[in-house]
Amino acid sequence: MSATSRHPSIAPDIGGWLTPLTGHWIDSARMRLSTNAAVVRVTVVGLKGSAPREPGASMLIDATGTVGTIGGGRLEWHAITAARELLRDQRAQPVRITDLTLGAQLGQCCGGRVELWLERLTRDDAAWLSEASRRMRERGGIAITTEVAAGVVSRRLRRSLSGAHPPALQRNARHHILFEIASLERPPLTLFGAGHVGQALVRLLAELQLYAITWVDARAELLPAELPPGVTARICAQPADWVDAAPATTRFVVMTHDHGLDYDLCRRILARSDSCWLGLIGSASKAARFRSRLLRDGVERETVARLVCPIGVPGIASKLPAAIAIAIAAQLLQQSDAGVAASAAAELKDCGGQCQRCDTQQSKAP
């Protein structure tokens, strides 16, 4: 008797891993259009109440599969079904806006309401996608205004005046306008230490795509040759030298193999008034010793108070490196979420459709 006949509830076919959307959707769409005639982008452009993903979350659907997620479950199933309809019917308008109530329409317990932007992209879009990608790299970020009127899609690319924020959608009976920021810039984070916890933390933060990570250690054998996107390794005999090299608003995480080095790093970081955050791995007793020594060495009490130690969200008792890394990543996530400001409406209000910053326009009929 086969395994599947003994356990009829187990399907005989085994699937693969779901593919995350790494980098920006613009670059991923360009890559997939090189092997597919069309791809549909699905983006969360608005929500009320609780929902699986935040505004700006995107996924791509083409004939070969999907990349990314807008939250899974019935919501994502509905989005994929609608996207495949757009792929099949090339005569349909290229943009569709769907407003879904998660509870009543989809049976999901989140209870919120989600607005989705579905847009079919073809190889005719390759030019503006390439231009947008180039400008992201050269300028750090661009603003994309997409207007849909009478079945015609037109786009303008312009310089962004503000940082990353969720997309903003305006709708009326005649046309729809989607304003969004496309940016590859991430806030800087410098991590000292490539031991077990350091390696686990880098893997987590790289997948979260929160920061541009500089990873510093004197031990070359502990810094992997192949690093995930967004991570740069620095082999340095004097790691403290990288404190001064870090840009302003850097978050610092200190977890080296040497408590003496840890102290030197912390003191040097605290001497900078422009750093964003300093976290030190260690116990409460290590934190007390470091703070006491810093005060004896003449560091102001208000400055010493900037040292976060122990690091990580409370309530996790496990000492496994992966568990510690999860606690630290969660703490950094809390900071990131608290710092997000939705300023898209202000920029959209300033955009009258034609100005000197709008130097690219592209139109497309269905």
Query: Phi/psi class of residue 359: alpha, beta or left (left: φ > 0; alpha: ψ in -120 to 50)?
Result: alpha
Residue by residue, pLDDT tens for the chain (366 residues) are 444 445 445 555 677 889 988 889 999 999 999 999 999 999 999 988 877 888 999 999 999 999 999 987 888 999 999 999 999 998 899 999 998 877 655 555 556 788 999 999 999 999 999 999 999 888 878 999 999 998 899 999 998 765 567 899 998 878 899 999 988 888 999 999 999 999 999 999 999 988 999 999 999 999 999 998 889 999 999 999 999 999 999 999 999 999 999 999 999 999 998 988 999 999 999 999 999 999 999 999 999 999 999 999 999 999 999 999 999 999 999 887 655 433 334 434 444 444 444 444 555 655
Q: Which pLDDT score is estimated for 358? A: 44
Is the Cβ–Cβ distance between 121 and 41 less than 8 Å? yes
How far is residue 65's CA from residue 62's CA, in Å, rounded to a whole number? 6
Provide the 10 A C-beta neighbour count for residue 284. Answer: 9
Q: Which pLDDT score is estimated for 172? A: 83
| CA torsion angle 38 69 77 364 (round to 10) | -30
Provide the 10 A C-beta neighbour count for residue 312. Answer: 20
- Structural domains of the chain sorted by starting position, each given as residue range(s) with its CATH number in brackets: 25-184+346-364 (no CATH), 188-311 (3.40.50.720)
CA-wise closest residue to 151 among 67, 61, 91: 91
Is the Cβ–Cβ distance between 150 and 120 less than 8 Å? no
What the block records as the tokens of 313 is 């969200």
Residue type, 13: D
CA-wise closest residue to 329 among 229, 225, 210, 240: 210
Q: Which pLDDT score is estimated for 247? A: 93
Q: Which pLDDT score is estimated for 116? A: 95
The model's pTM: 0.77
Is the Cβ–Cβ distance between 167 and 344 less than 8 Å? yes
Q: Which pLDDT score is estimated for 103? A: 62
SS3 341: coil
CA-wise closest residue to 366 among 122, 58, 35: 122
Phi/psi at 209 (5° precision) = 55, 40
What the block records as the tokens of 40 is 């549909």
Q: Which pLDDT score is estimated for 350? A: 46
Q: Which pLDDT score is estimated for 15? A: 74
